[in-house]
Amino acid sequence: PQARYQSSISTPKSYKYNGATYPKDTYSNVPSSILDKLDRNLHLMPSHPISILRQIVEDHFSSYQALVPSSAVVSVHQNFDELGFPPDHPGRSLTDSYYLNREYMLRTHTSAHEVESYKKGLNKWLLSADVYRRDEIDSSHYPVFHQMEGTHIWPNTELHTLPQLNAELEKQLADIPIIIEDETTISPTNPYQAHHDPIHAEQITKHLKHSLNSLIFRLFGHHAKAGGEPLRVRWIEAYFPFTTPSYEVEVFWQGEWLELLGCGVVMQKTLDQSGVSDKSGWAFGLGLERLSMVLFSIPDIRLFWTSDSRFLSQFKQGQITTFQPYSKYPPCYKDMSFWLHQTSPTAEEVTDHHGASAAGGRSPLPIVDSKTGTGIKAFHENDYCEIVRDVVGDLIESVTLIDEFTHPKTQRKSKCYRLNYRHMDRNLSNEEVNELQSQVQARVVQEMGIEMR
Ligand code: FA5
Ligand code: MG
């Protein structure tokens, strides 16, 4: 049986990538628009902002070994099981992740490489890579982005050196003019691990926070010196299956809190799996695009993928400079209203939860029609957005739900989405946007079983 995201034109029965063949099954949901993005390696492209930032972080953590994994394809085991994601975690869903088949997927986070890196016996390492998630469409979300993972673990026999290391870090942090808000506490919802000596756990947590705060100071020091509004950075409590305590770091940018990274003290189970039960330490995973957008003032995440020299020529390896926007061409809005399939329950819309808590009432496992073996029946915004992206490509700037309605008599649900089109390099004609809009309509009707109003 064919999964729904392959178009009806005859498609190959397997994916071929990096010399390996992955036979397709009912999980297969990687469209060609995503396959085209594999191996673009923006994080390794000289003078690309993603690569500049990677380099600066690597320079900051200069004693950490820098790793680059060879393939974006990992096993489901590596991406989820090994890290203790429960079987019903929503990040595993076909609406959220890209599967080559039941066993292999495009990594959704660089944490997929934690266990193999610990297995190599490395104590301090950084790893940067492209990661893939089915997601909503707006200026800070793109289905391919880049993360950098960093960890520092110590043989337990060396943990007594931590107070000294922390004192040194505190000295370096002393007179830096950025206010970091941190009201996090150790609590039943974010505890130290039972087997850790709480004194050690506290010192590891301190070292984690000091290390990341010092990176933030390094990165944002120039903002502070420029004398503008003081930059606000905050630590908040988080949940990841593979760390506790866990945190996220956010920065206030363009009027909202933007999440830069997740981190925490590595779960002992993860270290046990890696054959290094006698070590303890911390890990973080940061979004390189998010951080680049703030640092370089890049207003739209799609710009990272442009080949326009007006963008690329503005950046130089090793330098954080402010992006000078070149003239933007006007946007073009088109609204699309439709009735959901009569039997479709509306899936709860939860985003950004790949590493995070399993909150939300959404069905976590891929829902496949048991008779036909095809398709998910519930409407999910990520499915809708993916068809939009598949048809429209980077011309889509955002997809926003602007209206929802339940018919009082029939209880039928309808939704109206506003599709905002914009070309980065030229004007769009109304005719070509209409053509794209009607192609999207045809695909969503055919593939999602919804009915236009
Ligand atoms: C994770 O991916 C965890 N693996 C992070 C981690 C590593 C926690 C190690 C603990 C220890 P999360 O899903 O929150 O967590 O993503 C991490 C960062 O990636 C986010 O803070 C954000 O900066 C970035 N990110 C997430 N989704 C997107 C997206 N769609 N587009 C761009 N950046 C994103
Ligand atoms: Mg998060």
pLDDT in tens, 313-337: 999 999 999 999 887 789 999 999 9
Share of the chain above pLDDT 70, in %: 87
Question: Above 70 in pLDDT, residue 154?
Answer: yes
Using alpha carbons, select from 370, 398, 374, 402 the residue that is nearest to residue 385.
398
Confidence of residue 446 (pLDDT cuts 50, 70, 90): very high
**pLDDT tens digits for range 390-409:** 999 889 999 999 999 999 99
Give the pLDDT confidence score for residue 227 in this predicted structure.
61
Give the pLDDT confidence score for residue 224 in this predicted structure.
58
Q: Provide DSSP, 96-156.
A: TS-BSSSSEEE-SSGGGGHHHHHHTT-SEEEEEEEEE-----BTTB-SEEEEEEEEEEEEG
Average pLDDT of the residues in 184-202: 95
Q: Which CATH class is domain 332-344+379-452?
A: alpha beta
Give the pLDDT confidence score for residue 225 in this predicted structure.
59
CA of 259 to the centre of ligand 1 (A): 8
Kindly list the domain boundaries of the chain, sorted by start residue.
31-72+107-312, 332-344+379-452
Question: 31-72+107-312 and 332-344+379-452: same fold?
Answer: no
- What is each CA distance from 219 to 171, 295, 318, 441, in whole angstroms? 18, 7, 12, 44
Backbone angles phi, psi at 285, to 5 degrees: -135, 115
Mean pLDDT score of the chain = 88
**pLDDT tens digits for range 4-53:** 444 444 568 999 998 999 999 999 999 988 998 998 999 999 999 999 99
User: What angle is formed at CA 14 by the lines to CA 12 and CA 16, rounded to 5 degrees?
Assistant: 105
Confidence of residue 363 (pLDDT cuts 50, 70, 90): very low
DSSP-based three-state secondary structure for 15: strand
Does ligand 1 have an atom closer than 6 angstroms to the CB of 111? yes
Testing ligand 1's pocket by substitution, the residue of 34, 43, 149, 290 carrying the most ligand atoms inside 8 A of its CB is 290
Question: Above 80 in pLDDT, residue 300?
Answer: yes
Taking the C-alpha atoms of residue 244 and residue 365, their distance in angstroms, rounded to an integer, is 25
Give the pLDDT confidence score for residue 226 in this predicted structure.
61
Average pLDDT of the residues in 174-196: 88
Taking the C-alpha atoms of residue 347 and residue 232, their distance in angstroms, rounded to an integer, is 35
Taking the C-alpha atoms of residue 163 and residue 104, their distance in angstroms, rounded to an integer, is 42
DSSP-based three-state secondary structure for 405: strand
Taking the C-alpha atoms of residue 388 and residue 441, their distance in angstroms, rounded to an integer, is 9
CB 210 within 8 A of CB 170: yes
Give the pLDDT confidence score for residue 180 in this predicted structure.
87
**What superfamily does domain 31-72+107-312 belong to in CATH?**
Bira Bifunctional Protein; Domain 2 (3.30.930.10)
Does ligand 1 have an atom closer than 6 angstroms to the CB of 141? yes
Does ligand 1 have an atom closer than 6 angstroms to the CB of 135? yes
CB 288 within 8 A of CB 54: yes
Give the pLDDT confidence score for residue 220 in this predicted structure.
80
Average pLDDT of the residues in 184-204: 95
**pLDDT tens digits for range 47-95:** 999 999 999 999 999 999 999 998 999 999 999 999 999 999 999 999 9
Does ligand 1 have an atom closer than 6 angstroms to the CB of 353? no
CA of 422 to the centre of ligand 2 (A): 28
Q: pTM (2 decimals)?
A: 0.82
- Burial state string for 272-285 with b = 16 or more CB within 10 A and e = fewer than 16: ebbebeebbbbbbb
Average pLDDT of the residues in 135-148: 90
C-alpha 190, offset from chain centre: 22
Lowest mean pLDDT among 25-29, 185-189, 365-369: 365-369
Question: Above 60 in pLDDT, residue 372?
Answer: no
The DSSP element (H or E) to which 279 belongs, if any, is strand 279-287
Question: Above 80 in pLDDT, residue 253?
Answer: no
User: What angle is formed at CA 384 by the lines to CA 383 and CA 390, rounded to 5 degrees?
Assistant: 90
Testing ligand 1's pocket by substitution, the residue of 113, 233, 240 carrying the most ligand atoms inside 8 A of its CB is 240
- Phi-psi label, residue 375: left if phi above 0, alpha if psi -120 to 50, beta otherwise: left
DSSP single-letter state for residue 301: G
CB 126 within 8 A of CB 65: yes
Scan for tokens 């005719």, then name that residue.
431
Does ligand 1 have an atom closer than 6 angstroms to the CB of 152? no
**pLDDT tens digits for range 107-125:** 999 999 999 999 999 999 9
Average pLDDT of the residues in 198-217: 95
Of 410 and 253, which is predicted with more confidence? 410
Does ligand 1 have an atom closer than 6 angstroms to the CB of 352? yes
Closest ligand (CA of 247): 1
Task: Tell me which residue has its CA closest to atom 1 in ligand 1.
Answer: 355
